Amino acid sequence: MELLKEIYLDTNMIHGWFRNFMASTKNSQLLKIPSVLEFLIGKDLALFTTTLTKIEIFRYIRSEWGLDEKFCNEVWDTFIKSFNITSIEVEQVELGELLNLVSKVSTRKKTLVNLMHLQLAKKNGLWFLTGEENLKERYAEYYDKVLTYQNLRKLFG
């Protein structure tokens, strides 16, 4: 396996932190760090997200908690700084490339956003850490640097 040092985090890998943050803020409780993040920060890995991840998290905070853009930015910045994560600014995804991909491989609607993440991981040469079990097998011809959290834990023993 190619050297594993730089990891692009799928939104579902970090969503738990935001869910816990919001609940702890609402209920005046201590913030519980999800085990996936505890594991990742305990390893010598460079962690990355993108604007696409930020969009998904902002949508969650705004839609589920009704909070404003200022709050969304503050929480995002807190998260990024707390875990020393690099957030890659992305202005566009290559829609033609995605069209070609979904024309070749039967794809569920909910997988489309993950394919955008996969494309961004590929564009930046990063391993893509996702919760979607079959992403690697289904799209290996497109990009094979894909891991699930369970696979990652096994690699680190």
- State if pTM tops 0.75: yes
Domains, the chain, with CATH or none? 6-155 (3.40.50.1010)
Would the pLDDT of 2 be above 80?
no
Question: What number is the average pLDDT over the span 104-130?
Answer: 92
For residue 28, the model assigns a pLDDT of: 86
C-alpha 65/C-alpha 59 separation (Å) is 10
Closest CA relative to residue 150, chosen from 135, 137, 136, 133: 133
For 6-45, write each residue's pLDDT tens digit: 999 999 999 999 999 999 988 888 899 999 999 999 998 9
C-alpha 24/C-alpha 90 separation (Å) is 30
Centroid of chain to Cα 75: 16
Question: What number is the average pLDDT over the span 125-154?
Answer: 92
For residue 35, the model assigns a pLDDT of: 93
For residue 106, the model assigns a pLDDT of: 83
Distances (CA, A) of 149 to 12, 60, 130: 10, 22, 7
